[in-house]
Amino acid sequence: MNKLDLKFEELLISILCDLLSNDNHVAVGAASPIPGAAALLAKEEQKIKGKKLRVTILHSLRFNNFTDGARELFDCAAQGRIDTFFLGGVQIDEQANINLVGTGDYPNLNKRFSGSFGSALMYYVVPKVILFREEHSKRTLVKKVDFISAPGVSDKNLYRPGGPKFLLTNKALFSFNKRKKVFCLEKTAPGINQNDIEKITGFKYDLNNEIKNFTYPSRERLDILRKVIAPMVSEFYPNFAKRIWFR
């Protein structure tokens, strides 16, 4: 990809890592190798600076210190003890509503997906939720989702300290403005410009005054990622680690 022989997944890991630099506790749910690697990378970089970042990776025995059973993630988040969590979406819409259930007219769906997981609580209580969906298309980023697994914003009469802060795809990074209920294009992937994004996005969004390209990771960061983080990721996402780093 560039002279560092950078993998695209490594670039996404690096972009996510930049979003975690001021956190105390990042949690990563199931089936999230790229967010998981990003969180561990951020932790390692903080350690070098003498600061501490706690990372909980549910899918791992080693990076999951919970001892109160499967409900502890949700209790812990509701207590305000988790700063950042990642969510995906079969569809994500203009108001940051996410759909993990299916497409069509629920319950008469055309296509059924897994289900809402913990999103209907986590999205409400974790202050910085990062939406991560690799596919960037009018199919995934839509005007209005077919089913709201969890809404992007809520009425004032709800307890809602949490919500979406960023959306990362393989083409762009958006921020989300909670007050205006709108995404804002912040960065684009290498070789992609603002017009390209408009053509493949199914919803309207604001534009940052200064839209940048995805920042490449430094040589130093890439070294840490490949030498320190990749073996860790092997523990809980062996297939992913093998595909990216060890084949």
Which residues would be at the binding site for other proteins (CB under 8 A)?
A: 25, 30-31, 50, 52, 54, 56, 61-62, 65-71, 73-76, 78-81, 100-102, 106-125, 147-151, 154-155, 157-159, 237, 239
Minimum separation from the CB atom of position 58 to other proteins (A) = 9
Minimum separation from the CB atom of position 164 to other proteins (A) = 13
Q: Do the beta carbons of residue 170 and residue 110 sit within 8 Å?
A: no
Minimum separation from the CB atom of position 199 to other proteins (A) = 28
Q: Cβ closer to other proteins: 173 or 233?
A: 233
Q: Cβ closer to other proteins: 79 or 213?
A: 79
- Cα–Cα dist 219/202, whole Å: 36
Minimum separation from the CB atom of position 230 to other proteins (A) = 18
- Cα–Cα dist 247/238, whole Å: 11
Q: Do the beta carbons of residue 32 and residue 129 sit within 8 Å?
A: no
SS3 235: helix
DSSP for residue 117: T
Residue type (1 letter), 14: S
Question: Among all chains, which residue has been given the structure tokens 């840490």?
Answer: 224
Minimum separation from the CB atom of position 236 to other proteins (A) = 11
Minimum separation from the CB atom of position 74 to other proteins (A) = 4
- Cα–Cα dist 183/36, whole Å: 24
Q: Cβ closer to other proteins: 73 or 173?
A: 73
Which whole-number Å values give the CA distances from 198 to 26, 131, 146, 167, in the listed order?
31, 19, 21, 15
Q: Do the beta carbons of residue 234 and residue 241 sit within 8 Å?
A: yes
Q: Cβ closer to other proteins: 209 or 239?
A: 239
Q: Cβ closer to other proteins: 77 or 230?
A: 77
Q: Cβ closer to other proteins: 3 or 62?
A: 62
Minimum separation from the CB atom of position 36 to other proteins (A) = 13
Q: Cβ closer to other proteins: 123 or 205?
A: 123
Give me 113's structure tokens: 């997906």
- Cα–Cα dist 85/168, whole Å: 13
- Cα–Cα dist 119/152, whole Å: 11
